[in-house]
Amino acid sequence: MNSIVVHYQEIALKGKNRPWFLSRLVRNLRGAVADLDVRAVRPLMGRIEVELGPGVTREEVGERIRRTFGVATGQPSYPTPVGNFEIVTMQRNPWWYPPQSDWAEGAEPIPPGPGNPLGTRWMGLSAPLVGIHGTPDPASIGYSASHGCIRMQNDEVTALYPLVPVGTHVLVVGYRPATAGYWDTPPGKES
């Protein structure tokens, strides 16, 4: 059997969100390969198997899954909100302005540059004061380290930035994912 395995175990799948997340991930993968000769997309323990028909290659399916990225999400005391959102604003080399929150009390705005906590890019979500952004602290990636935002390494957020225009849907599952993925879905197959 010719197949591709997509691992999701590194994403923290906990509690009641796990079955919903798996069904959504399988549905999105099915949509991404709907026009190819794919016989089945099956969730298994810790992975999803994509069974290919004789007329499709691994490379063809692999081209649809663009890339995965390591991320840092909100600390338990400042969790990243869960749900369906969309990107509503985008900025290159953003300024950081302290939010009205206890943790930012007395902080001053920080201009673009090496010490900016937003790194090199900001993609603001429809969730208030939450976005996907770079970080000057790459050691925080893979941990619950932010105040609710989704942090990425600066080179990775810079690579993702031109691929996701304003209006792009963002699905946040749980509050501690270790990776985020981006893949193409053929027109008319969005889920």
Q: Are the C-beta atoms of residues 60 and 144 closer than 8 Å to each other? A: no
Taking the C-alpha atoms of residue 29 and residue 164, their distance in angstroms, rounded to an integer, is: 18
Burial class (CB in 10 A: 0-12, 13-18, 19+), 34: middle
Sheet holding 3-7: strands in order across?
3-7, 47-52, 38-44
Taking the C-alpha atoms of residue 20 and residue 13, their distance in angstroms, rounded to an integer, is: 10
Q: Report the catalytic residues.
A: 133, 149
User: Helices (DSSP H) in 33-148: which residue ranges?
Assistant: 58-64
